[in-house]
Amino acid sequence: MINAVFEKQIPAPELDLSNLRRSIQEEYTAVAETPQQGFHFHTGRPLAHMLGYRDKWLEGIPEASIESFAGTGNPFSLGKLKPGERVVDVGSGAGIDSLIAAKMVGPAGHVVGVDMTPAMLAKARRAARETGLDNVEFREGYGEALPALNGWADVVISNGVLNLMPDKSAALQEMARVLKPTGRLQIGDILVQKAVPASAKRKIDLWTG
Amino acid sequence: MAVTLAGFVDFEITWRADVFSGAPQSSSADSFGTLGINFRARKPRNEAEWGAALAALNCAVPAQLRYPVSG
């Protein structure tokens, strides 16, 4: 059943990666700055409920983080985050999952959210200040080159981001690198049930829409 | 297989659902039968555990890959 999302790890040779990244940044800058405009994917609190996010998880999370939520799954349904654990959130967006994780791991734990979109990082950092949580930080970076040390994390989470990375193998290897031995990967993402032709993989607007 | 090759074991998809229908704008999601999923995996304890997982896939460790550095 798993097909194109995982089978083909390298981008189409003609795909302009810098253009792709720029297009994705533009899309998610809009999700950060004008979340009410409506996108080709669900966003915000209705999406969180659709994906099974519990009301108690969202308590104390700033509305700014919730309104720009654009995940595709529920990393927290895959395993409990324990007090004291270290978590890396790949593609942290406006911070909702990182902030939920920070509450779960408590003051003895630490969360590093990583995102490549400046508008999302700014929104996440403002939200973190608003919560007063001091066990969470947001770093600018790419999933294919995570700004985190080898073996630092107990858990890597990510939600609706891996599908946006042209080199998924590199991103998964980075997730493995930053995890401790026996560390857990808990991911929300997408799969496609029909083969994606090479010609479609070259169309940047199909990556974002 | 790709998740195992990247350095993980115990890969499992635990949930899948249509998370795109009804979005404010139309998308290409329906054209490809796109579903939202949750999946999990675990970093192996050591290279031997990873090797066993690769062997179970009838897949030899590619020469250019090695156990993800943790030190």
What residue ranges do the domains of chain B occupy?
Answer: 2-56
Output A205 or B55, whichever has higher pLDDT. B55
Whether the complex's predicted ipTM surpasses the cut of 0.90: no
- Return the residue matching tokens 């970076």: A141
* Residue for token pair 């054209």: B31
Q: Quick check: B66 pLDDT over 70?
A: no
Closest CA to A184 of B55, B58, B8, B56: B8
| Concatenated DSSP letters of B23-50 | -SS--STGGGT-EEEEEEEE--SSHHHH
pLDDT, residue A19, reads 86
Candidate from B13, B46, B69 with C-beta closest to A150: B69
Number of Cβ within a 10 Å radius of residue B59: 12
In 3D space, the residue among A32, A45, A60 whose CA is nearest the CA of residue A131 turns out to be A60
| pLDDT category of residue A192 using cuts at 50, 70 and 90 | confident
Residue A91 · residue A114 · CB < 8 Å: yes
Q: Which of these, A136, A157, A176, lies nearest to A77 by C-alpha position?
A: A157
- Fold assignment, A14-208: Rossmann fold (3.40.50)
Asked if the Cβ–Cβ distance from B20 to A169 is below 8 Å, we say: no
Please tell me the pTM assigned to this model: 0.90
**Pairwise CB contact (< 8 Å): A41 & B68:** no
Q: How confident is the model at residue A9 (pLDDT cuts 50, 70, 90)?
A: very low
Q: Does B59 touch chain A (CB under 8 A)?
A: no
Q: How many helices (H) and strands (E) does chain B have?
A: 2, 2
